[in-house]
């Protein structure tokens, strides 16, 4: 936990889940730049209706809590970080409604503040959804690190909102200013995307923020080859499910299995649900926007399938797959199997062996490796 000092006050902040000796801060220079700019402009006004987008750790929400903004994020972990940081600073956690991209804010927006997300498609989808809530007096300000603001970012804002320009860079961060062009027709949203899953009759629907939203990625393709067939009444989890492709194939190969789909992305889980219902109609399955397998009963799963991420937001963080593997071990019954695919250079083999006592390489194609471990 570290302390952010800005004109709005000093705030103790931490990422979620909080880790001992975490060297990564819960804010970046873009957060600081935006908060200093708002203070210089005497904003927000007390009566402004504010929406904050993509506030990964609740930094902006915490600093502006006295203005009771709404906050919209596709990340359950961002919601939890926001609540934790509000509570950590003795602020009312109920004063900030936390929304996901499928929610509609309760009112029109006077001040829209957004952080540039890792996936530009997510911002495109969000701006499509929110444009109708903007009005002629709405102020739209974005913030991001210079490395994350490209010509495509500015073109997107100009195409969906209106005239757009940027500030000078400070500490490798920039602000983005957009003016609403009410006469602008941005056209229909391209999301969700859809594609046919090779070798099956499945049509996969993919939210803007879903991993591999335009085609099947090579790591998942390799892992699909090793999903078992015809197991009897197993409980299978697709951990970090994205569009649900691993769980869908597992369900198709194992008609008597019960499948759990879990992801921290609200829209990814919604995509997985849509894809499963399209493929299997009324067949039962479980869909959870959650912190991995945290809510899963220990010793209740027979198989965990996982193509794990290795980032927290935009920073490489090896604790992300480690935590997922640890959750999998807890959730698996004795003899249960973890089946993972990952880039060979990520060191998953050593982590899994440390947790499970054993780890075998099922297949490797030079870039990706499928690893298997059984709980002893």
pLDDT tens digit sequence for 338-358: 999 988 777 888 999 999 999
pLDDT tier at 213 (50, 70, 90 boundaries)?
A: confident
* pLDDT for the residue 195: 95
**3-class secondary-structure state, position 12:** strand
Q: What is the DSSP string of 89-155?
A: TT--GGGS-EE-TTS--SS--SEEEEEPPS-HHHHHHHHHHHGGG--TT-EEEEEEEGGG--HHHHH
Q: Render pLDDT for 100-143 as a digit per residue (tens, 0 to 9).
A: 999 999 899 999 999 999 999 999 999 999 999 999 999 999 99
* pLDDT for the residue 372: 97
* pLDDT for the residue 321: 87
Query: Considering only 229-233, 299-303, 330-334, which range has the smallest mean pLDDT?
Result: 229-233
**Measured distance CA(338)–CA(335) in Å, rounded:** 10
pLDDT at 302 over 70: yes
Mean pLDDT, residues 17-30: 84
Query: Considering only 37-51, 160-174, 260-274, 310-324, which range has the smallest mean pLDDT?
Result: 310-324
pLDDT tier at 210 (50, 70, 90 boundaries)?
A: confident
pLDDT at 312 over 70: no
* pLDDT for the residue 230: 86
| DSSP H or E run through 272 | helix 266-280
Q: Render pLDDT for 321-341 as a digit per residue (tens, 0 to 9).
A: 889 999 999 999 999 999 999
Mean pLDDT, residues 286-298: 95
* pLDDT for the residue 310: 60
pLDDT tier at 18 (50, 70, 90 boundaries)?
A: confident
The two most distant CA atoms of the chain are separated, in Å, by 64
For residue 11 the two structure tokens come to 């705030």
Q: Render pLDDT for 61-98 as a digit per residue (tens, 0 to 9).
A: 999 999 999 999 999 999 999 999 999 999 999 989 99
Mean pLDDT of the chain: 93
Mean pLDDT, residues 183-212: 93
**Measured distance CA(225)–CA(22) in Å, rounded:** 37
**Measured distance CA(365)–CA(368) in Å, rounded:** 6
pLDDT at 218 over 70: yes
* pLDDT for the residue 60: 98
Q: What is the pTM of this model?
A: 0.93
């Amino acid at each position: 936990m570290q302390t952010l000092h800005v004109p709005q006050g000093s705030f103790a902040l931490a990422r979620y889940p909080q880790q001992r000796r975490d060297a990564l801060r819960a804010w970046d220079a873009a957060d600081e730049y935006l908060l200093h700019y708002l203070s210089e402009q005497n904003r927000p006004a007390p009566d402004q209706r504010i929406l904050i987008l993509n506030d990964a750790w609740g930094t902006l929400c915490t600093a502006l809590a006295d203005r009771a903004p709404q906050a919209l994020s596709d990340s359950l972990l961002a919601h939890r970080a926001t609540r934790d940081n509000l509570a950590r600073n003795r602020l009312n956690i109920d004063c900030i409604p936390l929304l996901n991209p499928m929610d509609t804010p309760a009112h029109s927006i006077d001040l829209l503040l957004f952080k540039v997300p890792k996936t530009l498609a997510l911002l495109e989808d969000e701006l499509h959804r929110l444009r109708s809530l903007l009005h002629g007096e709405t102020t739209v300000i974005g913030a991001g690190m210079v490395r994350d603001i490209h010509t495509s970012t500015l073109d997107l804002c100009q195409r969906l909102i209106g005239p757009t320009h940027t500030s000078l860079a400070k500490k490798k961060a920039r602000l983005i200013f957009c003016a609403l062009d009410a006469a602008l027709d941005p056209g229909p949203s391209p999301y969700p995307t859809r594609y046919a899953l090779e070798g099956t009759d499945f049509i996969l629907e993919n939210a803007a923020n879903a991993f591999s939203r335009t085609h099947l990625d090579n790591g998942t393709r390799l892992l699909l080859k090793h999903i078992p067939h015809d197991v009897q009444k197993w409980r299978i989890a697709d951990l970090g499910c994205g569009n649900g492709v691993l769980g869908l194939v597992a369900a198709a190969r194992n008609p008597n299995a019960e499948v759990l789909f879990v992801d921290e992305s609200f829209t990814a889980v919604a995509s997985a649900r849509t894809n499963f219902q399209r493929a299997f109609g009324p067949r039962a399955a479980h869909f959870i926007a959650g912190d991995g397998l945290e809510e899963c009963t220990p010793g209740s799963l027979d198989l965990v399938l996982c193509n794990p991420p290795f980032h927290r937001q935009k920073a490489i963080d090896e604790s992300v797959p480690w935590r997922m593997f640890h959750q999998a071990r807890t959730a698996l019954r004795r003899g249960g199997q973890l089946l993972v695919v990952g880039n060979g250079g990520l060191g998953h083999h050593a982590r899994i062996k440390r947790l499970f006592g054993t780890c075998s390489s099922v297949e490797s194609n030079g870039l990706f490796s499928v690893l298997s471990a059984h709980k002893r």
